[in-house]
Chain A
Amino acid sequence: MNHPVPEELISAYFDGEVSPDERGEIERSLESSSELRQQLDETSKLSALLHSFPRESAPRELAANVQKQVNAATQPALAQTAASATTRRNMRREWTAFGAGMLATIASLMMFVSFNQSQFTTNSPTPLPWGDAPLPQVTLQSKPAAQEVLAEAHPTFANPNIETEPSDPSRQLQRNLSLSSEPNVARSKMNDHSTTTELSVKLKDVESLAQNSAPMVANDDFTGTSSNSIQPQIQNEFLSYLANGDVIVSKVADPSNTVAVVYFTVVDIERGSNELKVLFQKRSLQEVEVSDDVSLGKEIDAKDRLVNQQPSITKNDLSKKRDASRADEFQVFFARAPGDQLADTIGDLVKNHPDIFRNWTPQPPIELPVASQPPTEGIVAENKVFADANNKAQGNSLSQMTDETTTVNAEAEMAVGVLMARNSSVNANGDFYYYDANSSVPLSVSNSIIGNTSNLARKTEFGARETASAAPNPTATTTGKQLNGINSQNSGNSGQGYFRVSRQNQPHVAYQQSAPAQNKGTSLIANSIVNVNPGGLGGLGGGMGRNAMVNTNNDNRNPRLVRMLFVLKSEQATTNPAP
């Protein structure tokens, strides 16, 4: 069958390697050609298959062998120099030269170590036998002991018992930390993010309270945010050593003295999302659109809007970021399927892939409401009905849900959106960059609507933007301040905020952020922010690429416990420096 677009373009489209014109052409063709859709599906399945295997690590001896060869390559020259020097100098002079050389070597080594200490922010769990000295181990210097600073933040930190709330992850961490010489030991370290301001927000490893604690940095980059939003940034270097299933246990506290324990479990979202694709296909969930899409970040007009909204980000910066972000493509799932089926799919995904979702327990199945009387456009009251129904289905507190004040056109479909997204990157300075709507993996439903556009990515962004502008201030909740911040940030694309995925005539999915209670029934929520507030601690939607996290709080009522996953990026993304 002849297609209006070459089949070759489907492959390129899958890779996000088509021009905007080609993209539009392909997407139009996809709508009319089941054969093309099948090709795209098969391409997706193949990709998932290729990514379904464990990533091979280099043999340990590789680095050692390289070292030997490099040393061998450089030593003859040194030896030749030394021999030449010997012929010209007497023994005393030789000793003098040797001593001077040694001093110079030591000095340079010290300089390097010092340099590293100022730059590196994490230990390497598997230091390489490189050079004449081991790689420098980073220690926190000139920082108060965690116990002290945490105790300063909140008296309860003086009591170490607070650390023992969750059992399994704690044991996992204990195992990891007790085997500190093994790979995959994750230790959070001081964040030296130069553009942030250190507040009295602390993060630490449970098992090494005094020794290895690291102040968290409250990220003031997010203008308009409340001071109780904490972004537990993970260092690039740190990420490099993480592996699937690693658990990082941290405590966070904010200036208001609310503290919480946060469990970060590393999950390879890339693999997870690929597996999810396969499941979608296998279960014939209809009208699934999968977009491994970079266009959210690349779309020109979207960028223009971003630049306008966030003047500190220049087009040039975005271009740099885009260049650096090729591995940070979105992986967005849109599903239009009964909620229980989707919930089952997610559950099975987790169940069948403990290798990916280790330490992760799916939430109870989500029962999304099937509205019998869809609200008509423009009738807020009926939308509220939907919102309430959704809230009820999710076990959320109605009082904490948002009242959609926007004009909506929800048609009461069993609409679900699943989003696994990675949408941040680093800019030229190595700082994280956030742009466009931020990601989450929401399974809750809201009712706002987006404009009618044929571009999936545009829809997504519009959805987020509309959501952002439409969301009210839930002042009745404990998180009103946060929501205000989120909303403004969301529309400003500055990195926080929740995300709503929407399609025309399809209720969006949205992460109803705020207190942990609202996490009940939400299976996958990408979180990048930990909010600590007097009413509890909750993860905010808004994945940020390599820092994207998924809240897996199974103890929703515990305001001091949040379990989060964060994306283990593909290796090139975690280890590549910014250009």
Chain B
Amino acid sequence: MNQISDQTLIDHCLAGRREAFGQLVERYQNRLFHSLLHLLGSAEDAQDAAQEAFVNAFEKLGSFRGQSQFYSWLFRIAYNTAVSSKRKSGRMSVSLEARRDASGLEPSDGNPTSEPSYAMDVSDRQRLVQQALSELGEEFRTALVLKEMDGMSYEEIADIVKVPLGTVRSRIHRARLELREKLSVLLRSEVL
């Protein structure tokens, strides 16, 4: 198909055409934001991280060698940004306030099993899932989100989080186990 390749846009950027970077932003902002949202649990944090990642990517564009997909490179920047931000703020999980902001709903009491599953609507379920995700260990959540939400391969995930492939496999498995347990009621419910 005739979509301009990332590399071509990058070349345009490096040639001084800033507007080409806009195309890259347009191309990847939704995907990046979506993954960061599930990773960070807050739309505000996700936006901040995505924004910072794009700006950093623009500044470092000359160092992009094309050895990986641009998105993987971009996400690595975003991930490092998020990790760095977490170190500063001391958190990388979802606050009650953030959950309220993200979903527009009051947070639950934190126990998915206490929820009347039959009465859940999409927002309720989404909130519970996000909450369960946020309760996973960061490394497990990251691996799972990148796989499930972002559709990355294990290899790409390994490249981003800088761990061996087997570790990615293990983390995703553990994340799923934990999540299945946390969401067992929801998974058994008829409203799915």
**If the complex has contacts A130-B26, A570-B151, are A71 and B192 also in contact, measured as CB distance less than 8 A?**
no
What sequence of 0s and 1s flags, for each residue 159-175 of chain B, a beta carbon within 8 Å of any chain A beta carbon? 00000000001101100
**If the complex has contacts A43-B176, A572-B71, are A62 and B51 also in contact, measured as CB distance less than 8 A?**
yes
Interface membership of A165, Cβ < 8 A: no
The reply to whether A573 and B151 contact each other, CB–CB distance below 8 Å, is: yes
Interface membership of B100, Cβ < 8 A: no
The reply to whether A8 and B170 contact each other, CB–CB distance below 8 Å, is: yes
The reply to whether B31 and A12 contact each other, CB–CB distance below 8 Å, is: no
**If the complex has contacts A132-B19, A194-B2, A278-B192, are A17 and B153 also in contact, measured as CB distance less than 8 A?**
yes
* Residues of chain B lying within 8 A (CB to CB) of residue A476: none
Closest to B187 in A: A45
* Residues of chain B lying within 8 A (CB to CB) of residue A575: 27-28, 30-31
Complex alpha-carbon distance, A413 and B148, angstroms: 36
Complex alpha-carbon distance, A47 and B28, angstroms: 23
- Least Cβ–Cβ distance between A444 and chain B, in angstroms: 29
Residue in B1, B6, B17, B31 whose CB lies within 8 Å of A432: B1
**If the complex has contacts A48-B192, A58-B33, are A67 and B22 also in contact, measured as CB distance less than 8 A?**
yes
The reply to whether A131 and B5 contact each other, CB–CB distance below 8 Å, is: no
* Residues of chain A lying within 8 A (CB to CB) of residue B5: 430, 577-578
Interface membership of B39, Cβ < 8 A: no
Interface membership of A384, Cβ < 8 A: no
Closest to A131 in B: B19
Closest to B13 in A: A70
Interface membership of B179, Cβ < 8 A: yes
Interface membership of A112, Cβ < 8 A: yes
* Residues of chain B lying within 8 A (CB to CB) of residue A46: 176, 179-180, 183, 187
Closest to B55 in A: A69
**If the complex has contacts A42-B180, A45-B192, A235-B1, are A58 and B172 also in contact, measured as CB distance less than 8 A?**
no
| Interface residues on chain A, size class | 35 or more
Residue in A10, A55, A578 whose CB lies within 8 Å of B30: A55
Closest to A327 in B: B151
Interface membership of B43, Cβ < 8 A: yes
Closest to A132 in B: B19
Interface membership of A15, Cβ < 8 A: yes
- Least Cβ–Cβ distance between A5 and chain B, in angstroms: 12
Number of interface residues of B (CB under 8 A): 61
* Residues of chain A lying within 8 A (CB to CB) of residue B1: 121, 193, 233, 235-237, 426, 430-432, 578
Interface membership of A52, Cβ < 8 A: yes
* Residues of chain B lying within 8 A (CB to CB) of residue A130: 19, 21-23, 25-26
The reply to whether B173 and A12 contact each other, CB–CB distance below 8 Å, is: yes
Within 8 A of A (CB), among B1-26: 1-6, 12, 16-23, 25-26
Interface membership of A63, Cβ < 8 A: yes
* Residues of chain A lying within 8 A (CB to CB) of residue B129: 49-50, 53
Closest to B17 in A: A112
Complex alpha-carbon distance, A66 and B54, angstroms: 7
Interface membership of A51, Cβ < 8 A: yes
Chain A contact surface mostly? helix
Within 8 A of B (CB), among A125-142: 128, 130-133, 135
Counting chain A CB atoms within 10 Å of each CB, which of B1, B122, B125, B192 scores highest? B1
Interface membership of B126, Cβ < 8 A: yes
**If the complex has contacts A192-B2, A233-B1, are A11 and B176 also in contact, measured as CB distance less than 8 A?**
yes
* Residues of chain A lying within 8 A (CB to CB) of residue B58: 66, 70, 73
Interface membership of A511, Cβ < 8 A: no
Closest to B21 in A: A70
Closest to B150 in A: A572
Closest to B26 in A: A128
The reply to whether A59 and B43 contact each other, CB–CB distance below 8 Å, is: yes
**If the complex has contacts A108-B16, A193-B1, A233-B1, are A56 and B43 also in contact, measured as CB distance less than 8 A?**
yes
Interface membership of B77, Cβ < 8 A: no
Closest to B170 in A: A8
Counting chain A CB atoms within 10 Å of each CB, which of B51, B153, B172 scores highest? B51
Complex alpha-carbon distance, A140 and B54, angstroms: 32
The reply to whether B3 and A577 contact each other, CB–CB distance below 8 Å, is: yes
The reply to whether B47 and A63 contact each other, CB–CB distance below 8 Å, is: no
What sequence of 0s and 1s flags, for each residue 36-50 of chain B, a beta carbon within 8 Å of any chain A beta carbon? 010000010001001
Residue in A53, A61, A62, A282 whose CB lies within 8 Å of B122: A53
26 A/B residue pairs, CB under 8 Å, sorted by A: A7-B173, A17-B169, A43-B176, A46-B179, A46-B180, A46-B187, A50-B149, A57-B34, A58-B34, A59-B33, A61-B47, A62-B51, A66-B58, A112-B12, A120-B2, A128-B25, A128-B26, A130-B22, A135-B23, A326-B153, A430-B2, A571-B31, A571-B34, A575-B31, A576-B69, A577-B3
For the complex with contacts A15-B154, A58-B47, A572-B151, 20 further pairs of A-B residues with Cβ separation under 8 Å are: A11-B169, A11-B176, A17-B153, A42-B180, A48-B192, A49-B125, A52-B192, A63-B29, A70-B21, A119-B2, A135-B23, A135-B26, A192-B2, A193-B1, A193-B2, A235-B2, A237-B1, A326-B153, A430-B5, A575-B31
Chain A residues with CB under 8 Å of chain B are 7-8, 10-12, 15, 17, 42-43, 45-59, 61-63, 65-67, 69-71, 73-74, 108-109, 112, 116, 119-121, 124, 128, 130-133, 135, 192-194, 233, 235-237, 240, 278, 282, 326-327, 426, 430-432, 570-573, 575-579
